Amino acid sequence: MGEVAGLLARWLHLASSIFLVGGAALLLIARPSDRPTARRWESWILTACRVLVLAALGSAIATVAYQTAVLEERWAAALEPAALARMLTRTQAGNVWLARGGLLVLLAAFLAIRAEVRDRADWRALRGQAALLGLVALGLVAAAGHAAAVEPGAAAAITADVVHLAAAGLWIGGLPALALLLWLAGRRAGADARPYAVLAARRFSRVALALVGALAVSGLWSAWVQIASVAGLLGTRHGNLLLVKLVTFAAMLVLATLNRRLIPALGGEAHSVGRPAMRRLSRVVAAEASLAVLVLAIVAAMTVTPPARHEQPTWPLSFRLTLDNLGSAPDLASQVLVGSQVAVLGVVALLASLALRRLRLPVLAGGAVVLVAGGAIAVPPLVSDAYPTTYRRPDVAYQAASIADGRRLFDAHCAVCHGPQAAGDGPAAATLQPRPPDLRASHVALHTAGDIFWWITNGRPPMPAFGDRLDVDARWHLINYLRALAAGDAARLLGPTIEPERPWLVAPDFTFNVGPEYSRSLREYRGRRIVLLVLYTLPASAPRLGELAEAYGLLASLEVEILAVPTDAAPDAIRRLAGGPPIFYPVVTDGARAIVEAYRLFAPAPHAEFLIDRQGYLRAIVAAPDAPQRDPGRLLAEVERLNEETVTPPPPDEHVH
Amino acid sequence: MRIWRVVLLVDLALVLGLAAGYLWWGQQARRLANELQAARAVAAVSPGGEREYRATGVVRAGLPDLGILVITHGDIPGYMPAMTMGFRTTSPTIVESVSPGDEVRFTLRGTPPNLAITAIDKTAP
């Protein structure tokens, strides 16, 4: 109930603000006239503007009250002066509402001036002022919307929204006023204003062409920021609303082009048109205006829906298109290549048909056939199965503790068929048809984490469903374990020396303690330090730890941190190292078990060293079976090479396969 | 007066008003940030010298010749975040009373940044 009222208030506010701007601006575009019908139209528009500014103010108050109730989480707050004052003075959105309210009141005062204006400069100043104040008040909406919450880059997002709002105000806001003028001029008594109406419509249509461009560019930018993916567009409420808005908008564009083509006068070929043409024009513009009202309702709904980038998308289709399939199959890649080039040929033919006068239809039909044929060749290799959770982002981070939990769950529930190392060779595997696949193989990377989540949840015959036996977190633990298994398999390619500029294997995050209160996670070193993670086993590793202790000062000056993790997860690890040279780098006393379980998947040796770069990628692995002997100078050389690398920006946060 | 002049004056006033309002708004945010920082600074360094902090940590090494204990300690509120570092001690017995790996509770005393450990206890055997 409250939500519907809030939505209605927003819609009313947006619509009245936009039609106010458009009406006032159209007066300016059309310029003054002394024809009686034109003067009548101007006075009607002014009256409408007076009503609209009052509606905008009233709906603004209602929206503020609604937002206060939402912020305070109780409906009664909407009517409490203290709560309203808090909202208006203490929040950014409230401050913006205050500024906009002030502008609207000033605008109402200007519109209240009913003086007969004869002088051209005065007329322009007065009408221009109405349009200007309305535009500023409308543009400020962006500073209190979703765009203001974009981090980083709020300024760019707000600018895009301001452009979008202003262009919408000037174009679709002007449609009802234009429809009114055309209707007046299309009546028997309105013949005197027909040249004026045609001139106004021609000017407006010229301005509108530029505005549609601005709308498209700024709208694309905002969609890129707020939705950012096909999954967000198809799989969230916000994205679906945008699709509906785009379809409605496309219908408006079709009507607009109809106008330009049906009425030659708009192309500047005549000074006036007859009554039937005028009436038809007014009907089409009125249809456009009513579509605009619909678009504004959708926009109001979008402002109260969380942006797609904050939502978990639910994929609505049973397939998706992906290039990942092609990596392993060169013949499929060439098929896609040929198909896409055929399709491009079709598009060229379609475009050419627009330029042709003769033979247009055959070329058009031929182009369409070629395009469809190209699509039929190129698309099938790209199709992959998809499920509602395909694009779901993991709820549990790729962390050592999760991987260790996943390993336990795998041994308990999955290993009987999938085998202890997920190679598809469990005791029960022989009885199954089809046999369980090798989950470490590279084809696993072709599926999204969300795909695997769906299979674990709902089963994939002969695999049973685990949705009712394992909670959501447990299922993500399993997926993290599988990811680590595949990564560990790939980690065999990593040696003791780094491959410059080629980070590709994400190091699982972990948390650890040194002593009672010193607690850190690997993430905290990201962007700051190179980390040398040392999994050690006493007594064999003791000399190596002593070597590292002696080199620690030098390594620290090269921005390297050493983290030493006992493989036996000893809580008294520091004491057990006491005999040798003093060790100042962190020795993990708590959290070691999960780290060892996860990183053993990458190097199953009693002593292993992992070099992790500043972006959180594993770059080099040294695994020694017993007494590790390595010249510290070689480690320093690797570190120097890492320090020389240009830092690649994206940290592997959302990187999931 | 002509209407366009009135409009011009109103617009000038509006631009000035909006600019002033925006600046005041930005200043407000900066003032709050400054106040917070000042309050933190006051809390961190009280005037008039000697301060005492209590902290817990784990002993990493003792350097008896220098009278220094290296401790990985937790956050010391108002002084420093968790880290591994060496602390001077006020008596040699303090260095000798603990060994690497001991979990300890200790007291730091002095005028920042010249602090020294005045007392230390093992919290776990």
Dihedral angle computed from the Cα positions of residues A424, A427, A433 and A437, in that order, rounded to the nearest 10 degrees: 0
- Cβ separation B74–A122 shorter than 8 A: no
Say if the Cβ atoms of B100 and A584 lie within 8 Å: no
Angle formed by the axes of helices A2-30 and A36-72, nearest 10°: 150
- Per-residue H/E/C for A554-587: HHHHCCEEEEEEECCCCCCHHHHCCCCCCCCCCE
Amino acid at A520: R
CB A456 within 8 A of CB A470: yes
Q: Give the pLDDT band (50/70/90) at residue B6.
A: confident
Test B2 with A124 for CB contact under 8 angstroms.
Answer: no
- Spatial distance between the Cα atoms of B1 and B22, rounded to a whole number of angstroms: 31
In chain A, what residues touch B60 (CB-CB under 8 Å)? 574, 582-584
- Closest A-chain CA to B81: A518
* Closest-CA residue to A635 (of A617, A621, A646, A615): A621
Q: Are B67 and B110 in contact (CB under 8 A)?
A: no
- Chain A residues within 8 A of B25 when measuring between CB atoms: 95
How far apart are the C-alpha atoms of A264 and A251, rounded to whole Å? Answer: 21
The domain locations on chain A are 2-310, 324-383, 400-486, 494-644
Q: Residue B7 is nearest to which of A129, A573, A586, comparing CB atoms?
A: A129
The Cα A465–Cα B66 span in angstroms is: 65
Q: Which residues of B touch A519 (CB under 8 A)?
A: 82
What is the pLDDT at residue A657?
A: 39
d(CA A564, CA A549) in angstroms, rounded, equals 11
Question: Which pLDDT value is given to residue A513?
Answer: 92
Residue B57 to residue A95, Cβ atoms within 8 A: no
Q: Strand A560-566 relative to strand A530-536: parallel, antiparallel, unpaired?
A: parallel
Beta strands in A330-444, from DSSP E residues, in sequence order:
383-385
SS3 A608: strand
| Beta bridge partner(s), residue A564 | A534, A587
**B63 vs A129: CB contact, 8 Å cut-off?**
no
SS3 A385: strand
Residue type at position A226? Q
Which one has a higher pLDDT value, A278 or B124?
A: A278
Residue A318 identity (one-letter amino acid): S
Which residues of A fall within a CB distance of 8 Å from B56? 515-517
Among B10, B57, B99, select the one facing A578 at the smallest CB separation: B99
Task: Judge if ipTM > 0.90.
Answer: no
A·B CB contacts under 8 A? 95
pLDDT of residue A266: 58
Q: What is the pTM of this model?
A: 0.79
Name the token pair of B41.
């600074």
What is the model's pLDDT at position A654? 47
Mean pLDDT calculated for residue range B85-105:
91
Closest-approach residue (CA) in chain B for A113: B3
Distance in angstroms between the alpha carbons of the first and the last residue of chain A: 42
What's the rounded Cα separation, in Å, for the pair A443 and A452? 12
A472: enclosing H helix or E strand:
helix A472-490
Burial state string for B32-66 with b = 16 or more CB within 10 A and e = fewer than 16: eeeeeeeeeeeeeeeeeeebebebbbbbbbbeeee
Whether residues A575 and B82 touch (CB distance < 8 A) is answered with no
Q: Report the residue from A125, A517, A574 with minimal CB separation from B101.
A: A574
Please give, rounded to a whole number of angstroms, the shortest distance from the CA of A416 to a CA of chain B: 43
How many CB atoms neighbour CB A215 within 10 A?
21
Judged by CB atoms closer than 8 Å, whether chains meet at B84 and A584 is answered as yes
CATH 1.10.287.70 fits B51-122, yes or no: no
CB atoms within 10 A of CB A122: 17
DSSP A434-459: SPPP-TTSGGGGGS-HHHHHHHHHH-
Rounded to whole angstroms, the Cα distance separating B113 from A373 reads: 78
Q: What is the CATH topology of the domain spanning A400-486?
A: Cytochrome Bc1 Complex; Chain D, domain 2 (1.10.760)
Cβ pair A642, A497 in contact under 8 A:
no
Q: Which residue of B has its CA nearest to A515?
A: B58
Q: In this structure, are residues A574 and B101 in contact, taking their beta carbons and an 8 Å threshold? A: yes
Say if the Cβ atoms of B84 and A514 lie within 8 Å.
Answer: yes
What CATH class has A494-644? Answer: alpha beta
Please list every residue in chain A whose beta carbon sits closer than 8 Å to the beta carbon of residue B84: 514, 518, 584-586
Rounded (10°) angle between helices A154-171 and A194-226: 160
> Which pLDDT score, from 0 to 100, does residue A135 have?
94
- Annotated domain spans of chain B: 1-44, 51-122
Which of B61, B74, B99 is nearest residue A518 as measured by Cβ atoms? B74
Q: Which amino acid, A591? A: G
| Mean pLDDT, 10 residues at a time, chain A of 657 residues | 86 95 94 89 94 96 92 87 90 90 93 81 89 93 83 85 94 94 90 88 89 93 86 90 94 85 61 80 91 93 85 89 78 89 93 85 92 92 89 91 96 92 87 86 78 93 91 95 90 88 90 89 91 91 90 91 91 85 90 94 92 92 72 86 77 47
Longest dimension (CA), chain B: 93
- Tell me whether residues A99 and B11 touch, CB distance under 8 A: no
Cβ-based neighbours of A530, under 8 Å, separated by 6 or more: A558, A559, A560, A561, A611, A612, A613, A614, A639, A642, A643
Nearest CA in chain A to B14: A103
Which positions in chain B have a beta carbon within 8 angstroms of at least one beta carbon in chain A?
2-4, 6-8, 10-11, 14, 18, 21, 25, 56-61, 63, 70, 72-75, 82-84, 99-103, 123-124
Q: What is the pLDDT of residue A648?
A: 64
* Cβ-proximal residues to A66 (8 Å cutoff; 6+ apart), any chain: A2, A5, A6, A9, A78
